[in-house]
Amino acid sequence: MRTLAGQTLAERYRVDALIGRGGMADVYRGIDVMLDRAVAIKVLTERDDNERDRFLREARSMARLNHRNIVAVYDAGRSDGWSFIVMELVEGRTLSAVPAHELTVHVALRQYIEILEALAYAHEQGVVHRDVKPANVMVVPSGAVKVMDFGLARRMSEMSSVTSAGEIVGTIAYLPPERFLGKTADERSDLYSVGVMLFETFTGTQPFKSESDDLVAVIFGHVNEPPPSPRSLNRAVPPQIERIILKLLEKEPERRYQSAREVADDLRALLGTGTPAADPKLQPSGPAQGPAKKATRASAAEADARAMLARTFGRSKTIDIGYSETLAGMLATRKHDYPEAARAYRAALSAFAEANNELEAAKTALKYGTMILQKNNEAGVLDKRELSEAVDILSEALPTFRGRSMLKELEEGERLLYALQRTLIRTR
């Protein structure tokens, strides 16, 4: 496959190492020799005229955006038959690549507030991203985020209810229902995608997912099925965050948040740095209030926000540790980071045991056993010690399900125990 490394585009941009490859474009690290500045150079590999036009639309959309949380575009052009965009070089990791143990509720909320601020700014400039997903969000070393790749963005004024040839672009898992139904997409479509990301961050899975990668089933879920309750998948999810996620995932755009700033305000309220966005039905209709009354209301709102946090996170510290470690284990398993998953699940089991919470310990034992089986099925060498430990932990958990008549969990646990035992036999 041809590479442009070592060439100079437009007699100005020296192309160095390839740092990313997509379906229609490659991204290189480069140098703007005129300004002696490191840059990222995105080069279109697709030579189709329609794709060239789309590529230039991306450049125009991004060039209009000047925001601290959006990757900046410096230049665009064609050279020696290649179409290219010169962008800010962002060092860091994508949101999907952040290790599970670095995620906490507060870190996640701060990151999503910045994502929403970037989208709010873009929407106010008339630009809808249309491909919001974790792979398009960079986390820089300072912890700040930058939204990138407006490659599928369109000016709102250019959007129609039907894309060319029924085109459905973007990543299926994060697209809103209206995109599959040929309806007009607007800023609320980006907010649905943020809802999917939040759901995934706090539960470790997507709301509509097919284990067999059946895209039709995923699309059907987005269009027709209600998303599962995040707290049904992870009890550690605060109720206020669940409410925000489910509102973002409403099928009808009119029932979602209507702007990115509304969502950001509600997330800030959970951090105690702002007040929740008001429900339109509860807007005050009386005369304007004086400064003293406004200050009183602001103080009361801040107190309510802090009280809400206290209620949300004020449970037993040991139980909180158990829930948090369970979440870390789920996220680490999803990323195949098995050492971190094992550490997190063992810490969760220890915390629930200390708190005498047999039910949560049993549920965590199921997750731990599933992770150990997955790890050993993927590995070339079976780990007898881990398998034996998982068998013992799960054996202790099953009576808890049996005593509470939790038949679904009991059946799942018995099947898992049998699979672990069969795998353990292979190590002898």
Q: What is the pLDDT of residues 311-355, one digit of tens each?
A: 434 334 576 677 768 877 887 888 888 888 899 899 989 988 887
Question: For residues 138-174, b (16+ Cβ closer than 10 Å) or e, as one string?
Answer: bbeeeeebbbbbbbbbbeeeeeeeeeeeeeeebeebb
- Whether the pLDDT of residue 295 is over 60: the answer is no
Given the residues 26, 131, 149, 265, select the one marked as catalytic.
131
Average pLDDT over residues 208-229: 83
In the annotation, is 213 catalytic? no
Fold of 8-88: Phosphorylase Kinase; domain 1 (3.30.200)
**Tokens 């209810």 belong to residue:** 161
pLDDT at 261: 96
pLDDT score recorded for residue 169: 45
The dihedrals phi and psi of 275, each to the nearest 5 degrees, come to -120, 150
pLDDT above 90 for 252:
yes
10-19, 32-41, 290-299, 413-422: the lowest-pLDDT one: 290-299
* pTM for the predicted model, two decimal places: 0.62
pLDDT band at 167 (very low <50, low <70, confident <90, very high): very low
One CATH from 3.10.20.740, 1.25.40.10, 3.40.1130.10, 3.90.1150.10 for 317-425: 1.25.40.10
Distance CA 426, CA 313 (A): 44
Q: Which residue has the higher pLDDT, 4 or 249?
A: 249
Q: Which tops the pLDDT comparison, 158 or 171?
A: 171
Are 25 and 43 in contact by the 8 Å Cβ rule? The answer is yes
Other beta carbons within 10 angstroms of residue 28's beta carbon come to 24
Q: What is the CATH class of 93-162+169-276?
A: mainly alpha
DSSP 63: H
Both tokens assigned to 310: 């206290």
Report the chain's C-alpha Rg in angstroms.
25
Where are the chain's structural domains? 8-88, 93-162+169-276, 317-425
Q: How confident is the model at residue 283 (pLDDT cuts 50, 70, 90)?
A: very low
Q: Give the pair of three-digit tokens for residue 114.
A: 């910045």
In whole angstroms, give the CA distance from residue 71 to residue 40. 10
Q: How far apart are CA 117 and CA 147, in angstroms?
A: 10
Q: What is the mean predicted confidence (pLDDT) over 228-257?
A: 93
Residues whose CB is less than 8 angstroms from the CB of residue 164 and which lie 6 or more positions away in sequence, other chains included: 50
Angle between helices 187-203 and 317-334 (to 10 degrees): 110
Residue 202 has pLDDT above 80, yes or no: yes
**Better-predicted residue by pLDDT, 169 or 243:** 243
**Which residue in 393, 384, 385 sits closest to 416, CA to CA?**
393
Helix (H, G, I), strand (E, B) or coil at 95: helix
Burial 50-81 (b: 16+ CB within 10 A, else e): eeeebbbbbbebbbebebebbbbbbbbeebee
